[in-house]
Amino acid sequence: MKTIGLIGGMSWESTVVYYQLLNRMARERLGGLHSAQLLMWSFDFAEIEAHQAAGDWAAATGAMVEAARRVERGGADCLVICTNTMHKMADAVQAAVAIPLIHIADATAAAIKPTAVQRPLLLATRYTMEQDFYKGHLRATHGIDVCIPDAAGRTVVHDAIYDELCQGIVSPASRQRYLEVIGRARDDDGADGVIFGCTEVGLLLSPDDLDLPAFDTTALHAKAAMDFALDG
């Protein structure tokens, strides 16, 4: 088994899910007492969030590059950034290390392509929904065009992530608001699937809550990492 290097803590609420999923996958694949071989660097998310809010992406990139180098020096065989938003600096992180970066959008695209979904709705932080680093990667690399919620919907989705989910709050009222955002996108914009494009969204929604195909990026990313660790 190869060693998976995790850059987490953004937020730790979803990093916990990565840890659980990877260990469960190792046990399911290998049986018995097996678990995943992992190395993790976990940020103080308040520092990263401050860079995001200030638009200081250069400082955020510097922090991510240093974290990636630390994980590589620790002996990891691959790198997993446990957040969608911080894939904004995926190219810079990959350029700074020799080990492969397993890109969360590639793992997501691999799950979408075999389906009939043509216009998935991206639920994510405002940065991921409004900037092009994630949508553009899906479009340019995989030919997948996503739609995003309307302005009011983007505010609902973003605020619930930072004000609630990243702080361990799972609100039934926010779940209902998310479902309303999805319903509007389906009816008004032709959305025919939903990407849980923030690693915390799966804490609030389950695919069973939806009448559209759902793609949980956290679970898909973890699976891609475990596939690399065992088969790559």
List the catalytic residues: 83, 198
Rounded alpha-carbon distances, angstroms, from residue 120 to 25, 108, 135, 197, 208: 27, 11, 11, 11, 17
Which 3 state secondary structure label does DSSP give 79? Answer: strand
- The DSSP element (H or E) to which 120 belongs, if any, is strand 120-123
DSSP states of 11-64 as a string? THHHHHHHHHHHHHHHHHHH-TT----EEEEE--HHHHHHHHHHT-HHHHHHHH
Give me the DSSP letters along 179-206.
HHHHHHHHHHH---EEEE-STTHHHH--
Judge contact between 123 and 29, C-beta under 8 A: no
Phi, psi of 149 (to 5 degrees): -65, 165
Could you tell me the two tokens for 138?
């899906």
**Chain centroid to CA 207:** 16
CA distance 130 to 53: 14
Q: Which two tokens stand for residue 172?
A: 């039934």
